[in-house]
Amino acid sequence: MIKTKLCDLLGIEYPIIQGGMAWVSTAELAAAVSNGGGLGIIGAGQMPADILREEIRKAKQFTDRPFGVNLLLLVPHIKELVDVVLDEKVAVVTTGAGNPGAYISKFKEIGTKVIPVIPSVALAQRMEKVGADAVVAEGTESGGHVGELTTMALVPQVVDAVNIPVIAAGGIADGRGLAAALALGAAGIQVGTRFICSTECTVHENYKKKVLEAKDRDTVVTGRPTGHPVRIIKNKLAREFEKLEKECAPVEELEKLGTGKLKAAAVDGDMEFGSVMAGQSSGLVKSIKPAAEILEDFIKEAEEVIVKIQNLVKESDKR
Ligand code: TUI
């Protein structure tokens, strides 16, 4: 069994939280992960407020365990989404693509735990100062909107810089990754890509297939000049981005190219011109399984790896 302070903080069995992926992490997936012993998270993305409320209520029907909502701070109606999460008293909020400082005190007043996703040490320190309960240190291996640093370099630097629990994210899709994250000082992991290929994930089947087929070099970061670099699986859309970026096309043109493309991939199954956001760990994903089984596999494999390393140390001492 692998228990950490993150399990105590969130009231969960395993130190694994599911990435709140816009258009991908619906109530079904979130509830399945929470029922399996992790923390499931609904990705609010650009949902209208009333749809987010419906998703939260659906998740409450599917599970009695705590779950969370991921809020994308760059959406124009973010204040309405914050109000829904407050109103529904969701247990945990993770935030992406910005600084949630302005909302933290409101969440804390009602006992909602706030866990910002951050790509740097400076932001982690700022988040600790304004009262975050933990941070997700997300490396550039992740899918979707990414920072510059790798998980291997970022996580231990964040661990050294703050006193709140650090959750490692980016490139982690099996128990070896969980063991490695713990070795870096993390109190747990956030997993996105592996859960795309779960039975309960409601994303289009073509999306799951694309992740299953992807190999190690099949993702690429697009849209750097827009200030919102996004990792996706290579396809015609990625090539179009590459072409426009080479031509130094205006930012507006790049932004226009990206608009609505995640929905096209996740809902309509457009694998050519849709934005198939997924991490570098796609190459590790080989099967579609129930979320609970994925969680058990993570823990079992991490335990085996840790024992193996302990044995290595013991054997080395005898030499
Ligand atoms: O947010 C994510 N991953 C995402 S968001 C997304 S949807 C999207 N679509 C198009 C363009 C942009 C987003 C798909 N995947 N991960 C968490 C994350 N947050 N990664 C990086 C950051 C981040 C960046 C800047 C967090 C804070 C931040 O702060 C800037 C500041 O100083 O305010």
Model confidence over 190-245: pLDDT tens digits? 999 999 999 999 999 999 999 999 999 999 999 998 999 999 999 999 999 999 99
Q: In what order do the strands lie in the sheet with 230-233?
A: 144-145, 230-233, 219-222
Average pLDDT of the chain is 97
Q: Which residues, 6 or more positions from 129, have their beta carbon under 8 angstroms from its beta carbon?
A: none
For residue 231, the CA-to-ligand 1 centroid distance in Å is 11
Please give the average per-residue pLDDT across 255-268, as a whole number: 95
For residue 162, the CA-to-ligand 1 centroid distance in Å is 21
Please give the average per-residue pLDDT across 288-311, as a whole number: 98
For residue 77, the CA-to-ligand 1 centroid distance in Å is 16
Ligand 1 neighbours, Cβ below 6 Å, are: 22, 72, 96-99, 117-119, 123, 138, 144-147, 228, 230, 258, 277
Distance between CA 112 and CA 134 in Å, rounded? 12
Q: Which atom of ligand 1 is nearest to the CA of 118?
A: 26
* pLDDT in the model for residue 317: 82
Q: Which residue has the tokens 């419906």?
A: 54
pLDDT-based confidence at residue 319 (cuts at 50, 70, 90):
confident
For residue 126, the CA-to-ligand 1 centroid distance in Å is 16
For residue 50, the CA-to-ligand 1 centroid distance in Å is 23
Choose among 188, 166, 190: nearest CA to 4.
Answer: 188
Q: Which atom of ligand 1 is nearest to the CA of 45?
A: 7
For residue 138, the CA-to-ligand 1 centroid distance in Å is 10
Can you list the domains of the chain with their CATH numbers? 5-203 (3.20.20.70), 215-277 (no CATH)
For residue 146, the CA-to-ligand 1 centroid distance in Å is 6
Distance between CA 94 and CA 127 in Å, rounded? 12
* pLDDT in the model for residue 243: 95
Choose among 133, 157, 150: nearest CA to 17.
Answer: 133
Closest C-alpha residue for ligand 1 atom 27: 98
For a mutational test of ligand 1's pocket, the pick from 103, 135, 145, 277, i.e. the residue with the most ligand atoms closer than 8 A to its C-beta, is 145
Q: Which atom of ligand 1 is nearest to the CA of 258?
A: 10
53-110 pLDDT tens trace:
999 999 999 999 999 999 999 999 999 999 999 999 999 999 998 899 999 999 999 9
Closest C-alpha residue for ligand 1 atom 8: 145
Residue pair 301/257 in contact (Cβ under 8 Å)? The answer is no
Angle at 170 between CA 168 and CA 173, to 5 degrees: 95
Would the pLDDT of 318 be above 90? no
Please give the average per-residue pLDDT across 262-269, as a whole number: 97
Closest C-alpha residue for ligand 1 atom 11: 228
Strand partners, 220: 232
113-163 pLDDT tens trace:
999 999 999 999 999 999 999 999 999 999 999 999 999 999 999 999 999
Please give the average per-residue pLDDT across 181-188, as a whole number: 98
For residue 79, the CA-to-ligand 1 centroid distance in Å is 17
